[in-house]
Homo-oligomer: A and B are copies of this chain.
Amino acid sequence: MVGVAHDERRLQVLRAIVQDYVSTNVPVGSKALAARHDLGVSSATIRNDMAVLEEEGYITQPHTSAGRVPTDKGYRFFVDRLSQVKPLSVAERRAIERFLDGALDLDDVLGRTVRLLAQLTRNVAVIQYPTLARSAVRHLEVVQLATNRLLVVLITDTGRVEQRVVEVPAVTDAPAGADPVAELRTLLNSAFVGAKLAEASVAVADLLETAPPHLRGLVAAVSATLVETLVEPGEDRLLIGGTANLTRGGALDFPGSLRPLLEALEEQVVVLRLMGEVAPSHVLVSIGEENEHEGLTGASLVSVGYGSVGGTGDLALGGLGVVGPTRMDYAGNMAAVRAVARYVGQLLAES
């Protein structure tokens, strides 16, 4: 898009096409465009602009003599030029509050959030559990399952609770009358409580040296498991809701059956990777072919981080978002996602 004067209008045309197509799901033609929006020009002019837009790859026609449909590139351009985020309606704000207030524990907050987002955007909603790596340890609990198996429960400051079973060597050289498990518990707690999990590995090294000899075996096994399974980013979990919304619009969106999409969602990892490094400050939009994973071409993801952590406020506890057809209401979804994330962030900060 070079030039000055006409480009402004072409952008308007593109915007109009996207809007119409999103709301009607029918390829939009020049005449209809001229009628529905009052750009000050005739359909013929619009036709010329459309030809240019098509040339440049922003729109395409499904077949000759049909209307135009935005391409992924078109949506991308449209989204990038979305200057102001349209504010949510009062009803929507109220719905958010009503839905989320009264949630007590973390599971509850996340569950409500995902239902809320799904309902608000009429799409699939996803929310990531607060990343362990960026959480701090609030408490560690150790329960003996069998002589050589311990259950370790980790409670973070965000209220997330994770448990792992650890196979441990038998304790042979304990002083008479000692309770190794209890000792291990106090030891672990004094070493880890308050520490960010990302920094756990250094604490582990310390601990291994200072621990009384008869506990070394236990400490080694437990902390190995902790570091390995908790700091690994792969262990992040995802909550998904509103998959029924995928069937809106019949088989029109997702023509090649929505099987690959459902598979990708169940895969979790795929979506997690996409949400990757979302920041609370800025909404990330990933459109159609931009998504590498096969199942997600044909779909778009609108996501944002929630719960700022650290001084700059640009690291998130986790991400939340919305998955839908590329033909989605980007403006609306971006607004909804952002508003909900902000509210969730507040909720988690309170507790």
Contacts and interface: CB of A to CB of B under 8 A. Distances in A.
Interface of A: 104-105, 107, 138-139, 141, 143, 145-146, 149, 151, 153, 155, 159, 161, 163-165, 241-244, 246-248, 250-251, 257-260, 262-263, 266, 351
11 contacts: A107-B163, A141-B141, A141-B155, A145-B159, A153-B161, A159-B165, A165-B351, A241-B266, A244-B262, A244-B266, A246-B262
Nearest to A259: B247
A157 to B, nearest CB: 9
A153 B153 contact: yes
Nearest to A141: B141
Contacts of A149: 351
Given A153-B161, A161-B163, A164-B105, A247 B243 contact: no
A159 B151 contact: yes
A139 B145 contact: no
A243 B259 CA distance: 9
Nearest to A254: B247
A51 B146 CA distance: 64
A351 B159 contact: no
A243 B262 contact: yes
A125 to B, nearest CB: 11
- Counting chain B CB atoms within 10 Å of each CB, the highest count among A138, A151, A242, A351 belongs to A151
A151 B143 contact: no
A155 B241 CA distance: 27
A260 to B, nearest CB: 8
Contacts of A159: 145, 151, 163, 165
A143 B153 contact: no
Contacts of A146: 351
Nearest to A142: B139
Given A247-B257, A263-B244, A143 B165 contact: no
Given A141-B141, A266-B243, A163 B258 contact: no
A218 to B, nearest CB: 17
Contacts of A263: 244
Contact of A104 (B165, B258, B259): B165
A151 B138 CA distance: 11
A233 B250 CA distance: 36
Contacts of A145: 159, 351
Contacts of A351: 145-146, 149, 165
Contact of A262 (B138, B247, B251): B247
A184 to B, nearest CB: 14
Contacts of A246: 262
A256 to B, nearest CB: 10
A159 to B, nearest CB: 7
Given A149-B351, A161-B161, A244-B263, 6 more contacts: A145-B351, A159-B165, A161-B163, A246-B262, A248-B259, A251-B251
Nearest to A145: B351
